[in-house]
Structures are given as structure tokens and as C-alpha cells.
Structure 1
Amino acid sequence: MNRPPLALALGLLLAGCGLHPLYGGGGGGRVASMLGHIEVAPIEGKAGWLVSNAVRDQLGADRGTSPTYRLEVRLDDKVTGLGVRGDDTITRERRTLRARYQLIDLANGAVLLDATAGSDAGIDVVGSEYATIAAENTALERLSGTIASQIVSRIALYAERTSPAEP
């Protein structure tokens, strides 16, 4: 089978379907430019601190310029017992982290984006209380990163769909 014509044909098909990189233009592209001008409002609690830091890391905010947008996030963090032994001890937990977030235009106070993100993780409850607490904390750290990725991806998609095309 002759591979170059096949690769060329697939390339032409993809070009015709309108697919293009979300972060086209690198750090100077419209999506990266918008992401770099978002400030993250303080978020309550340990989960809030973790999510806030993860979002800031992924946004790559430009600290040298004043923000154009503000991201406000409210979290719901729950740990629920699932598996129960005959002696009524819990053997499995589920940690659920949900976020409701809004992207606000600082120029006029308009809510540009109002959405939710969420994830959950299973935790084995073992005989050591220390090990269980460590597992719960590790799950929270992973969930915070997942939530942050969902938030930043959704904002990037919003930026791509609403920003005017560059000349």
C-alpha cells in the first residue's frame, strides 16, 4: 500500500472538516491571550486553595498586566461511605468534588460563562486512620487538578468560539 497518497488524502479530509488547534498561535494566540488575562477570585477551604492554584498554573496568567476577567468558583466537596461490613464499619468511600464557576468581564460585570465541573474518586478505608486520611487528601489533590483542567478547557473553548478571528 502506498502511504504518502493516503496521508495526503487524510490531511485534506481533516483540513476540510474545520478542525484546527485550540491553542493556535501559541502564547500570542487569541485563546492564550484571554487565558492570560484572567484573575482567580479566592476560593474557600483546602479544596479551594488546591483548585485555585491548579487553575492559575494552567491559565498561565500574565502577572505584568491587569486582569480583564475574573473567575469565581464555588466548590462542593463531599466524602460518602459506600461499603459497610457486618460490624457497621465503612470499607470504601467516594470523594466527590463539584465546582460551579463563572467567568466575569471586569469592564461591565457581565457573566460571560456560567458552568459546572466535577469529578469523583474512590478511596479504600483501611485499618490505619492515618492511611485513610492520606488517601482522602491524595484524592482531593487529584480531583482538584481534574476540576481545574475542566474549567480551563471550557474557558479556552469559550475563548475560541467568541473571540474575533485574528487577521
Structure 2
Amino acid sequence: MTRTLALLLLGASLPLASCGLRPLYGAGASSATAQSLGMIEVTPIDERSGWLLRNALVDRLAVAGGADSPRYRLDVLIDDDITKFGLRGDAGATRERRTLRARYQLIDLATGETLVDATAGSDAGIDITSSPYATVAAEQSAVERLSMEVADDIVARLALYFDRTARR
């Protein structure tokens, strides 16, 4: 039974060997992609949500020891919006949607060329309760989660860019 299972797993894995998939960070922190991410300096971003996003980006980009002598600069502009909906009979809202969008540009400091110009974003639904404190706390928790999600998206896209340029 065990031998048959092992043969089945081996047979099923053969097509995967030729599919061309390979790990993005194959060599860990010493990979070209991780080294390139470590050379990015993130400029300050306005507002509290921008501060949260910048901190999340700096944390994720420091995989190779940080940008002591940066080669790239990441400029980010954000749009943080709260929209109320789900109206009650007294015209009060019952739900909110918090949306965090970021337009980011990766700039080569040596040439001034814009290498990547893209957007990333995420949104979250928030229940409005009878307690204003609870609603404000939910809004703050939402923006903290959204900044992490947007930072993950930005770093993943930058990693793909560096991986593709390294293969050329």
C-alpha cells in the first residue's frame, strides 16, 4: 500500500517538474530579488495611514539588511477613503467601507528613470455600532490591516519586477 502510494505521488509530481515554476526567493536573502528589494528607500508618506503603510513597506523591504546605500527610491501617494452605506430609517449609516489605494513609483536613483509605475489597493467593511469608540477602533484596525495588505501587494509586484529583469 505504501509503495503504491509513493509511486502514485512520484507519477503525479513528474508533470510539475517541467512546468517552469520556481521559487521567487530561491536562494533566500542572498537571492538577486531579495538583494534588490533591500536597496529600496521608501520616502515618507502623508497621513497616519501613510505612516502605517511606509512602516509596513520598510519592514518587508529590509529582507536583505536594509538600504544603507539605496539604489532605488519608492515614492507612494495614497488615497484613504471611508464611504458610509446601509442607511437606517433615521438616515444613520449601518456600514462603512474603508478603502486604501496607493500609487507607487520605483525610481532608479542613478538615472532618474521610473522603472515601475503602478497602483495597489484593498478595502474593508466596517460595522457601525451604537458606540462611537467601537466604530473608531474598528476604523483604526481596518486601516492597519489594509496598510499591511497593500504593502504585501506592492512588495510582491516589485519582487516580480526584479525577478523578471534578473532573468533577462
Match in the other structure for 1:130: 133
Offset at residue 7 of structure 1 (A): 2.4
Provide the rounded CA distance (Å) in 1 between the counterparts of 2:138 and 2:125: 9
Q: Which consecutive residues of structure 1, in runs of 5 or more, have no partner in the other structure? A: none
Segments ≥4 residues shifted beyond 3 Å: none
Pick aligned residue for 2:60 from 50, 58, 61 = 58
Give, in angstroms, the shift of residue 63 of structure 1.
3.6
Q: Please give the residue correspondences for 1:22-101 in structure 2 after superposition, counting only pairs within 5 Å.
A: 22-60=24-62, 62-63=65-66, 65-101=68-104
Superposed counterparts of 1:105-116, under 5 Å: 105-116=108-119
TM-score relative to the length of structure 1: 0.94
Report the equivalent of 1:158: 161
TM-score by length of 2: 0.93
Change (3 A) 1:77 1:64: closer
Q: Give ranges in structure 2 of 5+ residues lacking alignment.
A: none
- Stretch deviating more after TM superposition (54-63 or 39-48): 54-63
RMSD: 1.4
Sequence identity of aligned pairs in percent? 56
CA distance in 1, matches of 2:66, 2:121: 28
Hey, what's the Cα distance between the residues in 2 that align with 1:79 and 1:19?
40
Q: Kindly provide the CA deviation profile for residues 46-96 of structure 1, in whole angstroms up to 9, marking residues without a partner as x.
A: 011000000111111534730011111110000000111111111110000
Q: Distance in 2 between matches of 1:138 and 1:5?
A: 49
Query: In the aligned structure 1, how far is the partner of 2:17 from the partner of 2:108?
Result: 34
Q: 2:12 aligns with which of 10, 13, 22?
A: 10
Distance 2:30 2:140 in 1: 37
The number of residue pairs the alignment matches comes to 165
8 Å CA contact retained: 2:39, 2:67: no
Taking the aligned partners of 1:103 and 1:75, their CA distance within structure 2 comes to 15
SS of 1:60 mapped into structure 2: helix
User: In terms of mean alpha carbon deviation, does 58-67 or 133-142 score higher?
Assistant: 58-67
1-side partners of 2:164 and 2:8: how far apart?
A: 31
One-letter code of the match for 2:23? Answer: P
Alpha-carbon separation, structure 1, partners of 2:121 and 2:86: 22
Amino acid at match of 2:164: R
